[in-house]
Amino acid sequence: MHLLAGATIVALATSCVASPGYLKLDLQRRSPYEGRLIRRQNPDGSVDTVLTQNSNKLEYLVNITVGTPPQDLGVTLDTGSSDLWIPASSAKLCKQGQCDLGDFDPNASTTYKVIEQGGFNITYAAPGDTDAGDWGSDTITVGGSPSIDSQQIGVASQLFDPHGVMGIGFDTNEANNDSPSGVYPTVLDNLKSSGIINRKAFSLYLNDFEATTGAVIFGGIDTTKYSGDLVALPLQPGPQGIVSEYYVTLTSVSFTDSTGQTTQLSPQGYSQATLLDSGTTNTLLTDDIFTGLALGLGAVTDPSGEAYLIPCSLSTANGTINYSFGGDGGVTIQVPVSQVVGGQGYTSSQFDDPSGGCVLAFGTPADSGGFSILGDSFLRSAYAVFDIDNKVAALAQAVENEAGTSSIVVIPTGTNIPSATATATATGTQLTAVAAETGVPTASVQGSSMILAGTPTFSLATSSSTTTVGSTSSSAAANNAAVPTAALLGLGLAAGIMGL
C-alpha cells in the first residue's frame, strides 16, 4: 500500500454511473512500493484470513467520501476482506504528509459517531504492520453514489499503511468488533438496504496490464466486457470450513506454448478450493503446479528468496496459462504470459539477458500460510461476478481494453446470475497444512556481478524473435524437478524491485 520511490501518484477517477439497480465505478490502478504478504491476525496470534498481498505491487483504488461535509479519500478495493477502514488525520503518518490518498478528521464531521474507542485493530503478517484506532460510523458515498448513512468504519490513528481498504467480502469475514451478533452491516449490505442495488452481488473488470483503469459494478454485469460463456461456480468452504470468502474450485492448470502445444501442469484428479482476491497482486499456486510452470518459463529465484525472475523479453512471448474451473461444464480462463511479467528488477548488466530480469507474478501457498490464491495476475484476464446472497461466483474470459462500449444488465433479486449460461458443480478441497517450500532454489552468490538467467522448457517465441527457445513437454513429469539456480556473481539485491 506504499508508493514505489519515485513513482507518480495517479489521481483517482471520479467516474460513477448510477441507474436503478446498479452502481458502476471506475477503478484506478497504481504501483505501491513495499512488497509484503498481508494477512489478518486474530488477538490470540493465529492468522485465519488472507487480506491482501502487495508483493510485486499493483493495487486497484476507488474514491469514497466520509462525513458531513464530505471528506475525499482513496481506498484499495479488496474482495479478500470485508471492513472499510480509513486513516485518521491525527495519525503520525498523516501529519508527516504521507497519507497520499487523503485522511479523515472526525472532528470536522457533524455526522460522525464513536462506536468503540480504541476497538479497531487489524494486525498483518509483516513485522510491525498494524493499523488501529476507533470503530465509528458516519455518512459515506462510494464513487459518487447516493449517501449511505451510519456506515461503520475503522478510523486508524496508528498507521503502518498510508491509506485505507474497502473490503467487499462477506460480513462474517470482518475484523473483530463488539457488535452483539459479531458482525455489522458492510458497505455491500448498506448498498442493498439503501436500495442502490437489489442483491449483494457485483462484477469486477480489472482490464489488462497495460490499462490504467478497470471497473466494478455493484448490482450489475457488463456483457461487453467478456467473451464466451459466463459460468456460475458455487463457492467452496474456506479454511474455517464455512463459505465466508470467494473460494471456487480449480480443476486444471496447463500451459499452451507458441507452437500450440499444451503441457498439463496440474496432476490428475486435481480439485482445489482457490481464493479469488483482488487485494492479492500475485497468483499463489500449489507447488506441484508452480514448479512446472516456473521450469517452463525459465524462472530463477531472486537473491532475496522472495521473488522469481524471468527475462523481461517474455512480456512479448506467445503462450497462455490455462485455468479450468468447476470440472465438467466448467469454464477455462486463458492468461497470456504478458500478463504475468512484472517491471524490471535488474538491468541487462545485472541479469544475463539483453532485456534484463523481471519479476514473475507468482508464488506458492508456502508464501501465504497454505492458501491457494488467484490474485490480480489472474483476475486481469477474467470477468468475475461475485454473489454473496447466493454464495456463487461466475467467471468468463475478459475482453481486454474494451472501454468504448457498455451494456449493463441489472442483477435482480433472486438466485440466478443474469447472462450465466451454466453452473459447474465440482467441489474443491482445502490444503490442510502449510505447503512445502517450492523446488525453486535461492540464488547462489559467486565472484562476478551477473545473475544467470534460466533456460525455458516451453517454446516461447516472442514478437521480436522468429525462433523458439527450449523444448516442450507433454506431461507434468518435470513438475517436481528443481528450477535452475540463479547464480549471483557479486551483486547485492537491487533495492525496490518492482513487478506487477
| Range in 192-196, 375-379, 434-438 with the lowest mean pLDDT | 434-438
- The confidence band for 276, taking pLDDT boundaries of 50, 70 and 90, is very high
Question: From the candidates 78, 161, 229, 352, which is the catalytic residue?
Answer: 78
Q: Which range among 196-205, 235-244, 400-409 has the greatest average pLDDT?
A: 196-205
Top mean pLDDT of 393-402, 423-432, 462-471 is at 393-402
Confidence tier at 351 by pLDDT (50, 70, 90): confident
480 or 350: which carries more pLDDT confidence?
Answer: 350
- Say yes or no to pLDDT of 178 above 80: no
Is 138 an active-site residue?
no
- Are 385 and 391 in contact, with CB atoms under 8 Å apart? no
CA 174 to each of CA 49, 153, 199, 234: distance values in angstroms, whole numbers, following the listed order = 10, 11, 19, 21
Give the mean model confidence (pLDDT) for residues 113-135: 81
Of 277, 302, 353, 376, the active-site residue reads: 277
DSSP letters spanning 336-399: EGGGGEEEEEE-TTTBSSTT-EEEESEE-GGGTTS--EE-HHHHTTEEEEEETTTTEEEEEEE-
Q: Report the DSSP beta bridge partners of residue 325.
A: 250, 331
Whether residue 106 is predicted with pLDDT greater than 70 in this model: the reply is yes
Q: Tell me: pLDDT of 138 over 90.
A: yes
The larger pLDDT score, comparing residue 335 to residue 130, is at 335
46 HSE (CA, 13 A, CB side): 4
Alpha carbons 404 and 272: distance in angstroms, whole number: 36
Is the model's pLDDT at 238 over the cut of 90? no
Please state the rounded mean pLDDT for residues 99-124.
Answer: 92
pLDDT above 90 covers what percent of the chain? Answer: 50
Whole-angstrom Cα Rg for the chain: 22
Q: Is the dihedral of CA 230, 235, 236, 239 positive or negative?
A: positive
Give me 253's grid cell: 492448470
**Which range has the worst mean pLDDT, 287-291, 390-394, 450-454?**
450-454
What pLDDT does 431 receive? 55
Q: 277 an active-site residue?
A: yes
**CA-to-CA distance for 35 and 165, rounded, in angstroms?**
16
Average pLDDT over residues 125-151: 87
Q: What is the mean pLDDT of residues 163-172?
A: 92
Across residues 253-265, what is the average pLDDT? Answer: 95
Across 205-214, b (16+ Cβ under 10 Å) vs e yields: bbbbbebebb
Q: Quick check: 212 pLDDT over 90?
A: no
Q: Quickly state the pLDDT bin for 74 (edges 50, 70, 90).
A: very high
Sheet strands (E) in 187-316: 201-205, 213-218, 220-222, 226-234, 247-256, 262-264, 272-276, 283-284, 300-301, 308-311
Q: Kindly list the structural domains of the chain, giving each domain's residue range(s) and its CATH number in brackets, ordered by start.
A: 16-197 (2.40.70.10), 222-423 (2.40.70.10)
Q: Please provide the average confidence, as pLDDT, over all residues in the chain.
A: 80
At residue 35 the predicted structure's pLDDT band, cuts being 50, 70 and 90, is: very low
Determine the pLDDT at residue 19.
66
* Structure-derived torsion over alpha carbons of residues 98, 102, 107, 112, reported in degrees to the nearest 10: -130
pLDDT band, very low/low/confident/very high, at 18 (cuts 50, 70, 90): low
H or E element in which residue 193 lies: helix 187-193
Q: Given pLDDT bands bounded at 50, 70 and 90, which one contains residue 293?
A: very high
Percent of the chain with pLDDT strictly greater than 70: 75
| Lowest-pLDDT range of 11-20, 343-352, 399-408 | 11-20
Q: What is the pLDDT of residue 121?
A: 85
Question: In the predicted model, is pLDDT for residue 49 greater than 50?
Answer: no
**What value does the mean pLDDT take over residues 436-465?**
66
How confident is the model at residue 437, as a pLDDT?
Answer: 52
Q: How far apart are CA 141 and CA 195, in angstroms?
A: 14
Cα distance between residue 298 and residue 80, in whole Å: 31
